[in-house]
Structure 1
Amino acid sequence: MTTGQRVPARTRLLEAADQVLFERGIRDTPVDDLLRQAEVSAATLYTHFGSKDALVAEVLRVRLSDWQRVWDQHIVAADNDVDRLLAVFDALASYRETHGHPSRWCAFLAAATELPQAANEISDVLAGDTALLSERLLHLSRPLAGEGAQDLANEVLVAYSGALAGFLRGSPQSPDRRGPAPGPCSSSGPQPRLTHSSAGPRCAPSWKNAACSCQRLMR
């Protein structure tokens, strides 16, 4: 009789940290709780990561890699420049839906808020997330807004941040996949599909505001 191979201790530690740290709080979660969840000893934790901070940094690194891959996929699947810019919203909904992260907050914002004086290994990952978001939105805004690309990227970033903040008002259910009804910002230019609503109807205005910004700045 063949038995399944036990998940490696390092993987169990990462999974345990990912499951509990951003729900209970990084500082409020004792190391002993992580050890129990992962079924490992303290020596195993320190052998693989050296410290709790290093474990947190690696969990964030894995999340950032997963998030970037999902966002990449949605950008590639987009049909036009508007959809490529707004793909960040579809990617957010898809990431939360398929990667088992239905938490009420963004792990990177949570870590930045909870750990304003974070160790370098954590702050480096947080800086990487910020750079990915701001630089990519600017890059995707240039074909649409030219010299106004930074303004457009900033507006989309505000809408995206609003969608993340909306999660604090309650853990959303599955994303609403219906596109928003045409509004006063409709124009004859390229129209975004907006196939998801990242947290259901509650976040739809943020998505629509971003679409309106695109249309206004392209006129």
Structure 2
Amino acid sequence: MTPRAATRSARERLLAAAGELFYESGIAATGVDAVLARAQVAPATMYAHFAGKDGLVAAYLEQRFEVWRQTWDEVLAERTEPVDRLLSLFDALDRYREREGSRRGCGFLAAATELPPDHPGQPWLRADSRLLTDRLRELAVAAGLADPEEATATLLLCYDGALARSAREWTTPELHAGDPVRRARDLATAWLAQRGHAVAH
């Protein structure tokens, strides 16, 4: 165990290991034994903190959601111009990727394809969708967009497309043609400018 890992609690090590493995290999493909081995934690210790693998998955998604929300909050706090605040979605995603090493697409979208409807992790998938939709709508209203619903749907399409493209380029590196998140931001910026909402410089 590294000195840094030794300073973490068993719960923190389990969440860190689960986060890495679930994101790298998928939830279904990652067994509890692999998480225990990476976290260097005994099975009894894991079950003292989580109600089995499903509980660990839910905690992983909760932590991922909170880190993502806090990152977006942080970026928003640095922005004052309304259209720039609307585009902060992409800047927050860029900052999140740099900090967390998330280059394989969206962990929430990946989890949504694996978890059954009654899984305890589902509330965090819904929370992510609500955060994206509700916050973008509020920012679109604040920016004076004539149709906030259309703006929300368009920016979400750019956002989801960037994440899907990131996943595709991860598996097929020869298709790489620049950063998908920055390209998505440029597309969203152009779409807003066409509607008379250019970013102030």
Q: TM-score, normalised by structure 2?
A: 0.86
Q: Residue 27 of structure 1: CA displacement? A: 0.8
- Partner SS state of residue 117, structure 1: coil
Unaligned runs of 5+ in 2: 172-176
Q: Deviations over 1:147-197 (max 9, x none)?
A: 41111111111111111111112349xxxxxxxxxxxxxxxxxxxxxxxxx
Number of the residue aligned with 1:81: 82
Letter in structure 1 aligned against 2:57: V
The answer to whether 1:105 aligns with 2:105 is yes
Deviations 1:103-161 (A, max 9, x none): 41211111001224351x20011110100000000000012344411111111111111
User: How far apart are the structure 2 equivalents of 1:211 and 1:41?
Assistant: 50
Q: Report the residue type matching 1:131 in the other structure.
A: R
Cα deviation for residue 217 of structure 1 reads: 3.0
The corresponding residue for 2:193 is 215
Kindly state the Cα deviation for residue 215 of structure 1 after the two structures are TM-superposed: 2.0
Counterpart residue number, 2:115? 115
Which is helix-richer, 1 or 2? 2
- Structure 1 pair 110–96 and aligned structure 2 pair: CA distance change class (3 A): same
Equivalent residue letter for 1:106:
C
Aligned to 1:15: 16
Asked whether the 8 Å contact 1:21–1:29 carries over to 2, the reply is yes
Give the fraction of aligned pairs with identical amino acids, expressed as a percent: 38
Check the 8 A contact 2:159/2:181 in 1, yes or no.
no
- Of the structure 1 ranges 139-148 and 88-97, higher mean CA displacement relative to structure 2 is found in 139-148
Task: Indicate the residue corresponding to 2:73 in structure 1.
Answer: 72
Q: How many residues align?
A: 189
Q: CA deviation at 1:31?
A: 0.9
Gaps of 5+ in 1: 173-198
Cα RMSD (Å): 2.1
Structure 2 distance, partners of 1:202, 1:67, is: 18
Correspondence for 2:140: 141
Tell whether the 8 Å contact from 2:137 to 2:152 is kept in structure 1 after alignment.
yes
